């Protein structure tokens, strides 16, 4: 029996900002199936194309963006997931700052926009299932790897880091214990500069020391920041 399975990629690109919280990038489909419905950016892998090349091409074509870091999430292969044919999807996920991008819908996308993960529209295919898996992976990953620092300004008050983790984890954290653990990792630099927000005293600024982090990681240091 001739095998006729298609291979596709889908990208779960999470965005974060202080005001909107965590959002995900979606495109409105121009064509059937699921015409006019919102979906993840993605599509079929072309002949001679690697998976990484395919997902980055689809993001450029459908949303007009380049994402510096994407990692493979999971493979979704139910025969019923695409009404046209049996299509396996290799999904990716990444984290970005939405304010760093100017979206532009092209090719198969009629529109592109950010949606808060708590207020998602009805989605095409099995894309809600893919997003749920990505959220679970993200909440697990930030407890052992400091991926969230890329979402903050280069210099930030510690309260911004607390808010980021509370938002990504979707629950309150013990602020004193959290600060003790993060400072104890030795990957933050406390700066002489301060920032004045709307109320309260000026707050000391910090920055993430990538060099120190990678030095410790190469030595096999276990970054357990679960709390």
Instruction: State the pLDDT at residue 13.
Output: 98
pLDDT at residue 49 is higher than 80: yes
Residue 227 pLDDT level (bands cut at 50, 70, 90): low
Helix (H, G, I), strand (E, B) or coil at 122: coil
Helix (H) or strand (E) holding 15: strand 6-17
For residues 176 and 131, the model is more confident at: 131
Instruction: State the pLDDT at residue 3.
Output: 85
Mean pLDDT of 179-198: 89
Is the CA virtual torsion 19, 25, 26, 27 positive or negative?
Answer: positive
CB 15 within 8 A of CB 5: no
Q: For the chain, first and last CA: distance in Å?
A: 52
Catalogue all structural domains in the chain, each as residue range(s) with its CATH number: 6-141 (3.90.79.10), 147-218 (1.10.10.10)
Query: CA distances (Å), 110 to each of 18, 21, 52, 107, 174, in order?
Result: 28, 25, 24, 8, 44
Instruction: State the pLDDT at residue 31.
Output: 95
Q: What is the DSSP letter of 119?
A: S
Question: Which residue matches tokens 């532009």?
Answer: 104
Mean pLDDT of 1-24: 93
Residue 226 pLDDT level (bands cut at 50, 70, 90): low
> Using one digit for the tens of pLDDT, what is the confidence trace for 57-75?
999 999 999 998 899 999 9
Beta bridge partners of 181: none
Instruction: State the pLDDT at residue 196.
Output: 87
What gap in Å lies between CA 36 and CA 85, rounded to an integer?
Answer: 20
Beta bridge partners of 190: 206
Question: Which residue matches tokens 């990504």?
Answer: 168
Mean pLDDT of the chain: 92
Least confident stretch, 10-14, 32-36, 162-166 = 162-166
Instruction: Count the neighbouring beta carbons within 10 Å of the beta carbon of residue 80.
Output: 8
């Amino acid at each position: 029996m001739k095998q006729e399975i298609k291979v596709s990629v889908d990208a779960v690109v999470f965005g974060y900002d202080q005001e909107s919280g965590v959002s995900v990038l979606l495109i409105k489909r121009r064509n059937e199936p699921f015409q006019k419905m919102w979906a993840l950016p993605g599509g079929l892998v072309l002949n001679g194309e690697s998976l990484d090349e395919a997902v980055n091409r689809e993001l450029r074509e459908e949303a007009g963006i380049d994402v510096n870091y994407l990692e493979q999430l999971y493979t979704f292969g139910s025969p019923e997931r695409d009404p046209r044919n049996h299509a396996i999807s290799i999904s990716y996920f990444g984290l970005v700052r939405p304010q760093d991008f100017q979206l532009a819908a092209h090719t198969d996308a009629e529109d592109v926009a950010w949606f808060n993960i708590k207020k998602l529209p009805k989605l095409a295919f099995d894309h809600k299932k893919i997003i749920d898996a990505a959220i679970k992976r993200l909440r697990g990953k930030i407890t052992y790897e400091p991926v969230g620092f890329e979402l903050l300004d280069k210099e930030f008050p510690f309260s911004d880091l607390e808010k980021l983790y509370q938002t990504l984890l979707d629950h309150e954290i013990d602020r004193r214990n959290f600060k003790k653990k993060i400072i104890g990792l030795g990957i933050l630099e406390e700066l002489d500069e301060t920032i004045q927000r709307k109320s309260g005293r000026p707050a000391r600024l910090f920055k993430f020391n990538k060099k120190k982090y990678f030095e410790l990681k190469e030595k096999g240091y276990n970054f357990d920041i679960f709390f």
